[in-house]
Chain A
């Protein structure tokens, strides 16, 4: 299985090169890969249906429990077959759609990366690996949507899709990390065993919320549904493959995959049902409103995704059965219809359904395929879609509560979708024959093959449902329910309520189709989803964030040095203060009486000189005062028995004063730059800070630490051996390394100063 996943990635690297050298062969080579994968997975249906599970594991970062482990069960197999099978058709289609396009090699590469990631996603047993493939599908879909980036709408659509799905991706990462923490493992098979622990874990609610955000963004559920129609800027093969058959179902896959672990609780089931129901209704209404054929299909996909979500939320056996079957059915007919839409767009350049008509005479094969797929979408016998609709009604009728409301909602959605099916698969082909501006030589076989095969399969499975029921659907249902299931599908069950509902749906749908223009106007009047819809919310969020960012920048990054300093100081004081308030004690300075007069005098001189430095209006005064401070410090060092230090202080201080004086002669005099008011304000702020700092420092230093230290030294008396004036000895012998550093500091300063002075700025006076 590793080979199945990796082959796509490896091949994607080679394809652009191949395309440049052996163009004609490449087209067939790229089809061959998904096709052979399809054959491989098809052969696996037998052992899987017999209850087997294939798995393989490869260590990646085992220390933290991240492995490339793959498991193939019924659910994965269903997806794998769809991915590889539809993939083969899409690759074939692309070779016709992009004939002669210079970037075809690149396109194949992106598409292969996507296919491989999607396979990795559905086959991963490790949730972190799953997340990685999940993000790779987002990335490759971004590249694919933006492939035709001549149009500005394409790039904003691509960005929107990537942003929305990457929000979901990060939510997924957080959710999966929490899940791993709650379940003690990142392997899905392990997590399944820990489900009780996970459901009672305190992280359960955050996990559920995060996973749902991920699934809903990926599968375009309300309120994140807006990105999918906008992503229709993508070329038709991409829309077919990503936005109907596979990628958007990844969210559904995630919900299905995790429902044995997380499901059962009201928050899980209830939220999913409600969101799914809202999505299916909104999707269907919006589909009616649109006139662009691809956007219509996109909204109908949103609606179906809502149906699938809704069914998973119901969680009963019948509902899961319906969901799995419907997922399969939808992939077949919707991929077919998208391919048809691509053909129409490719041949006529028109995507507006109100302007398309009579194409059946120009492209009869396509029209036939479209009609069959459309009938499947409308749910008419003897097509696979009909079976799906029956199952759907069975599920809602058997729902644990509110089954009449749910059935009504599904009925409404389905009726609208019947009308949509008519609009897209019937409308463009009947009526007055259009005159095409260009003479064209018929639709290439590579492009018609896809719709024909898909529509044919829909018909074939409709007639012989048990071709797939036992092999694929049963095992997939079993995987979702985490218990074996054996399902028989049949086209007709006799006269049941479901059949009646199907008939009603169709009747309503046909009525809606006939009055489609009136309906479109009616829906447009409500203006769903533009004024206050989530798409608006998306753009408001972006604008808001940018505005907030600007505001914050203005406040925080004014470029004024002293504002920076003030904030730094204020925060420091605040931090110190908040920690010290707990310990605050009164200042106790003992032994004031013992101070000798000259000591006091020295201290006084220092303080006075310091104030002079800060306040002086003459530069010379400040510098002299700085010197005074330095020398007084030297005196204090002598008092405290540090003559070596005092000598250093004296010499360095002299040096500094001389340096400052030299520099001062090059600079202008002090001048008052700020107004008195500003100075007062600054002084007030500074004084407040100063008082607080002083107070805190004194409070902190009030208790001499000596008392505690004596016991320590009693224990470690050997450390006391050092004498008084060994500073230089220590410097040379013990501190060799630091001294090396110190000398280098001086060297660096010298080099730097030299080079800064050496080069004269343009037009400077030197």
Chain B
């Protein structure tokens, strides 16, 4: 039997993250509980190394490990997002873990392994690889959500997420097993080849069944309505740095897989899945935004807002799908397809910065024994902490999609993609829902700048510098890419052209 040549360049970032995770694990054993912050430093350095390695080998274009790993610039783009979001989450963590008495070094290990899982997921070119990555990511998060052991909310969040999450995994697997049953393959490219080849004689029932099942599972991961129910409960219950991480990482990873799998492998099934996503997208935008209005807890409000962002992102996915069916002068409209996919990727990048930043502000405000997550806690913040309030304002405006911020760039490309591909109805619904969103984002700003705190005014704690670094960095990037998004756009576009070629 001929053994395949193993090319490790394809997985250097994964290798780095794994080794650093193990290093953290090893060092953890020798550390006293009060010195666990060292682990954060090691993890950060490791993530920085992983970032450098990813960039050093950019752009790659190869399929390694017998076709299971697609080390292309598409996966590199997403690896950057994961590495950055892990790094920001770790920056926010030390102080929070300290004041809420979560002195577990395992936290950092699990973040590293979770990042590894997401990286495996986007690099996965095989159903098995994707499943393994997804489980690695999910199990790490189930565990981390329950890390605040003296708080019943945390345990409950963990339990709910675990039960619903493993239910979703089971559904995903059931769907995947049918795909294997139809095609006899688990490799994405081979499945795609088979579907192309047998386009007109497919076992349609089985295919649609498995497509729907897989879509349900992915909808669960991106928290699309009505598969979103776990999101607010889990986001509220979990430790906030983790909430920040899980509001970005798994969602981005799931969107990456959706883009890769649905656009390359299931491209013959476009009419089916665009319809599915259409319904999900509208429901997600409407329910997410409307419920967010009723929230008095900022963490829950951000949870619902992150649900609604999935709705906007789905608009981009739908546009990409419909674009594959558009013919210009008899030729496929490749540029429309890549523009639509690009819009999703750019939005995800923007979403990473602004969402993590907003959560970082929530963490910066937290005090021992009082998480300070209520809207009322933000009253008059501008007077007590003018700089923080200004940063939060910028981040919220970005979430709202205000011009001059990265969030606007994302939203602009999404809506533009929708309109150019003829999905005008859903674009209009998106715009209307953005108006609703304006209401709850602006309300926070109003509280910060124009509301006096009721009752006793507590002095703000010293804002831990590492959390503030996270806030400042994310805000700076939000503004920087809001004005000059060219770099990210070029990267996203290049990777898509490479993938579709």
Binding site for B on A (CB under 8 A): 61, 63-64, 128, 131-132, 135-136, 139, 146, 149, 152, 154-155, 158-159, 162-163, 166-167, 170-171, 173-174, 177-178, 180-181, 203, 206, 542, 545-546, 548-550, 552-553, 556-557, 559, 561, 563-565, 567-568, 571-572, 575-576, 579-580, 583, 585, 696-697, 699-701, 703, 705, 708-709, 711-713, 715, 719, 729, 733-738, 740-742, 744-745, 747-749, 751-756, 758-762
Contact = CB atoms under 8 A, between A and B. Distances in A.
B206 interface: yes
Given A546-B293, A561-B163, A761 B216 contact: no
A737 B129 contact: yes
Given A708-B202, A751-B143, 4 more contacts: A132-B404, A178-B424, A736-B65, A744-B113
Given A567-B226, A708-B201, A735-B68, A700 B209 contact: yes
B42 interface: no
Given A542-B439, A564-B164, A744-B113, A761 B139 contact: no
Interface in B413-438: 413, 415-416, 419-420, 424, 427-428, 431-432, 434-436, 438
Interface in B203-261: 203-206, 208-209, 212-213, 215-216, 220, 226-227, 229-230, 232-233
Interface stretch (B130-138, B319-327, B350-358): B130-138
A595 B437 CA distance: 60
A170 B442 contact: no
Interface string B452-486: 00000000000000000000000000000000011
A568 B435 CA distance: 28
B450 interface: yes
Contacts of B315: none
Given A61-B486, A571-B227, A583-B208, A545 B4 contact: no
Contacts of B68: 734-735, 737-738
B109 A751 contact: yes
Given A700-B206, A756-B146, A167 B435 contact: yes
Given A170-B431, A552-B291, A745-B132, A579 B272 contact: yes
A556 B438 contact: no
Contacts of B4: 733-734
B406 to A, nearest CB: 12
Interface string B262-303: 000000000010001000000000010011111000000000
B203 A705 contact: yes
A89 B136 CA distance: 65
A745 B6 contact: no
A442 B227 CA distance: 68
Contacts, number: 256
A559 B233 contact: yes
18 contacts: A149-B450, A159-B446, A170-B432, A171-B431, A173-B431, A545-B436, A546-B293, A557-B291, A564-B229, A571-B216, A571-B226, A572-B216, A575-B216, A705-B206, A733-B4, A735-B128, A748-B143, A759-B104
Contact of B450 (A158, A166, A715): A158
7 tightest CB-CB pairs across the interface, nearest first?
A752-B143, A155-B450, A549-B294, A132-B403, A741-B132, A564-B229, A755-B106
Highest count of chain B CB atoms <10 Å: which of A556, A564, A576, A735 = A564
B293 A700 contact: no
Main secondary structure, interface of A, reads helix
Highest count of chain A CB atoms <10 Å: which of B65, B132, B202 = B132
Highest count of chain A CB atoms <10 Å: which of B183, B272, B290, B294 = B294
Main secondary structure, interface of B, reads helix
A174 B428 contact: yes
Nearest to B114: A748
A565 B164 CA distance: 7
A642 B212 CA distance: 29
B291 A748 contact: no
B128 A729 contact: no
B120 A696 contact: no
Given A712-B197, A734-B66, A744-B116, A705 B182 contact: yes
Contacts of A754: 106
Given A561-B160, A575-B276, A553 B65 contact: no
A171 to B, nearest CB: 7
A708 B201 CA distance: 7
A549 B194 CA distance: 47
B332 interface: no
Contacts of A708: 198, 201-203
Nearest to B11: A737
B450 A752 contact: no
B6 A736 contact: yes
Contacts of A63: 489, 493
Nearest to A742: B132
A136 B427 CA distance: 23
B287 A174 contact: no
B489 to A, nearest CB: 7
B176 interface: no
B128 A738 contact: yes
A712 B202 CA distance: 11
Nearest to B415: A177
Contact of B291 (A177, A556, A575): A556
Contacts of A572: 171, 212-213, 216
B9 interface: no
Nearest to B428: A174
Contact of B18 (A167, A576, A740, A756): A740
Highest count of chain A CB atoms <10 Å: which of B25, B287, B291 = B291
A733 B3 contact: yes
A575 B339 CA distance: 29
Given A61-B489, A166-B435, A559-B233, A744 B136 contact: yes
Highest count of chain A CB atoms <10 Å: which of B65, B292, B409 = B65
A563 B18 CA distance: 38
A167 B149 contact: no
A52 to B, nearest CB: 30
Interface string B342-383: 000000000000000000000000000000000000000000
B318 interface: no
A167 B159 CA distance: 41
Given A181-B420, A712-B194, A759-B104, A139 B212 contact: no
A737 B125 CA distance: 11
B12 interface: no
A3 B366 CA distance: 43
A568 B424 contact: no
Nearest to B3: A733
A696 B450 CA distance: 57
Given A61-B489, A583-B204, A155 B446 contact: yes
Contacts of B18: 740, 744
A105 to B, nearest CB: 13
A749 B136 CA distance: 9
Contact of B413 (A64, A132, A162, A701): A64
A700 B205 contact: yes
Interface in B1-41: 1, 3-4, 6, 11, 18, 25
A755 B147 contact: yes
Contacts of A703: 203, 205-206
Nearest to B105: A755
Contacts of A752: 106, 110, 139-140, 142-144
A579 B279 CA distance: 13
Contacts of A729: 1
A699 B208 CA distance: 12
Nearest to A704: B203
A545 B439 contact: yes
Given A174-B428, A755-B104, A761-B150, A583 B442 contact: no
A163 B439 contact: yes
B290 A545 contact: yes
Contact of B205 (A154, A583, A713, A734): A583
Contacts of A163: 438-439, 442
Highest count of chain B CB atoms <10 Å: which of A559, A579, A713 = A579
